[in-house]
């Protein structure tokens, strides 16, 4: 039963992702002819850069070391007054350690991948120690249903601006404004311990 609930949560999140990419493709296709090709630029994010992010979903009761964890960049990372990593970019990592106490979990997280505009960029970061709310599978399942609807609305608002970054953030923002989910949002800071090169 527990496995079935997890599969349902994954399916719902996948549905939101499909909606996001569908909007993104339609908007980018319709606007492609309006812009001339631009030269791609290389941006260096130095070691020691502090990336503010949020963990929006809490952590489930049965979470164990080695399981995946996802955070979202917020606000954007600025380098030389330019956006290097947009708000809403995804940070992928794993749970290194976890100790649960009542409805909270003391965790050590390790983030090693940055998902940026459909590209995965390897990163090396310092371990993140965070106290995260513990939620049940049923809570996550209910939140996921609500988040899917909110994410689609957020995507639509972002698409109205005809800005790819706004569409992406609209998807993330949509999940975060879901009633009842704010209590599970945890703010963290991820620190790069090696520089990262990004091609924009």
Query: How many Å apart are CA 141 and CA 125, to the nearest integer?
Result: 31
Give the model's pLDDT for residue 70. 93
Contact 112, 91 (CB under 8 A): no
CA 89 to chain CA centroid, Å, is 6
Domain spans in the chain, listed from the N-terminal domain onward: 2-199
If you average pLDDT over residues 157-184, what whole number do you get? 51
Contact 71, 94 (CB under 8 A): no
Identify the band that residue 196 occupies on the pLDDT scale cut at 50, 70 and 90. Answer: very high
130 vs 19: which has the higher pLDDT: 130
Q: Which residues contact 62 (CB under 8 A, 6 or more apart)?
A: 2, 137
**Is residue 10 over pLDDT 70?**
no
Query: How many Å apart are CA 9 and CA 92, to the nearest integer?
Result: 18
Q: Which residues contact 168 (CB under 8 A, 6 or more apart)?
A: 20, 24, 86, 88, 89, 117, 158
CA 178 to chain CA centroid, Å, is 15
54-109 pLDDT per residue, tens:
998 788 888 999 999 999 999 999 999 999 999 999 999 999 999 988 889 999 99
**Is residue 24 over pLDDT 60?**
no
Contact 55, 69 (CB under 8 A): yes
Give the model's pLDDT for residue 178. 44
CA 64 to chain CA centroid, Å, is 20
For the chain, give the longest Cα–Cα distance.
Answer: 56
Total residue length of the chain = 200
Q: Which one of 112-121, 141-150, 187-196 scores highest in mean pLDDT?
A: 187-196
**Is residue 136 over pLDDT 80?**
no
Give the model's pLDDT for residue 83. 93
The DSSP secondary-structure symbol of 13 reads: H
Query: How many Å apart are CA 12 and CA 148, to the nearest integer?
Result: 7
36-67 pLDDT per residue, tens:
555 678 899 999 999 999 998 788 888 999 99
Give the model's pLDDT for residue 53. 96
């Amino acid at each position: 039963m527990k496995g079935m609930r997890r599969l349902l949560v994954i399916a719902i999140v996948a549905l939101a992702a499909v909606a996001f990419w569908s909007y993104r493709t339609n908007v980018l296709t319709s606007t492609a002819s309006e812009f001339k090709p631009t030269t791609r630029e290389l941006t260096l994010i130095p070691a020691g850069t502090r990336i503010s992010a949020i963990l929006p979903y809490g952590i489930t009761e049965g979470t164990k070391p080695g399981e995946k964890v996802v955070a979202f960049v917020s606000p954007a990372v600025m380098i030389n007054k330019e956006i290097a990593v947009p708000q809403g970019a995804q940070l992928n990592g794993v749970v290194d350690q976890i100790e649960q106490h009542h409805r909270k979990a003391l965790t050590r997280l390790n983030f090693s991948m940055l998902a940026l505009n459909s590209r995965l960029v390897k990163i090396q970061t310092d371990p993140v120690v965070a106290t995260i709310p513990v939620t049940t599978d049923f809570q996550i399942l209910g939140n996921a249903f609500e988040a899917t609807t909110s994410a689609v609305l957020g995507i639509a608002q972002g698409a109205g601006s005809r800005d790819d970054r706004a569409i992406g953030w609209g998807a993330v923002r949509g999940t975060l404004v879901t009633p009842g989910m704010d209590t599970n949002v945890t703010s963290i800071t991820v620190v790069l311990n090696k520089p990262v090169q990004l091609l924009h």
